[in-house]
Amino acid sequence: MKNTDMEQNIKEVLVDEETIARTVKELGKQITEDYKGKELIVVGILKGAIMFLSDLVREVKIPLILDFMSVSSYGDSTQTSGAVRFLKDLEVSIEGKHVLIVEDIVDTGLTFNYLLDNLRSRKPASLKTCTFLDKPSRRKADVQVDYKGLEVPDEFVVGYGLDFAEEYRNLPYIAVLKPEVYENK
């Protein structure tokens, strides 16, 4: 797919690059203040959080350990299947450590809730959450999000790591995808 084709499939840009940078900087500053003097493990949820995570950890001005997990409940669909699969687990132990989970978007919260329950069972000293985008209008599970970037409406959004069928992650902004692009898939 050509870059011009991607942009033709965009209904509207919701969050521009400057707003993304400002939001990430503010979150990084708050996380730095909150975790001063603590050993922090930052866990990025692949693949969607990779853009946000890489920008965020550069704004966190304390030592940290970085690890990744990959879970799936969507496949190529726009709706969660409800069945969560772990595709990649942590490489470091989080027992007794301060853990910050970094996610691209919290939507229904079902997958996120399952992930948090799993991580709590590993006995971290603390477990907090950070998401770049929050879509509370779709929430089905009561999940606590400690650090929120921006709230978005109930639209199918792509860009800055968020995808549709593995495409659009490389857009430098958050955009609404035209419905005709995903309704026929």
Active-site annotation, residues: 107
Burial of 157 (C-beta count, 10 Å sphere; 0-12/13-18/19+): buried
Q: What is the DSSP secondary structure assignment for residue 168, as one 8-state letter?
A: S
Q: Which residues share a beta bridge with 176?
A: 12, 157
Please choose, from the candidates 38, 37, 104, the residue with its C-alpha nearest in 3D space to the C-alpha of residue 71.
104
In the three-class reduction of DSSP (H, G, I as helix; E, B as strand; rest coil), residue 101 is classed as strand
Q: Give the helix ranges, DSSP H, for the chain.
A: 3-8, 17-34, 50-59, 110-120, 179-182
DSSP β-ladder status, 147-151 and 10-15: unpaired
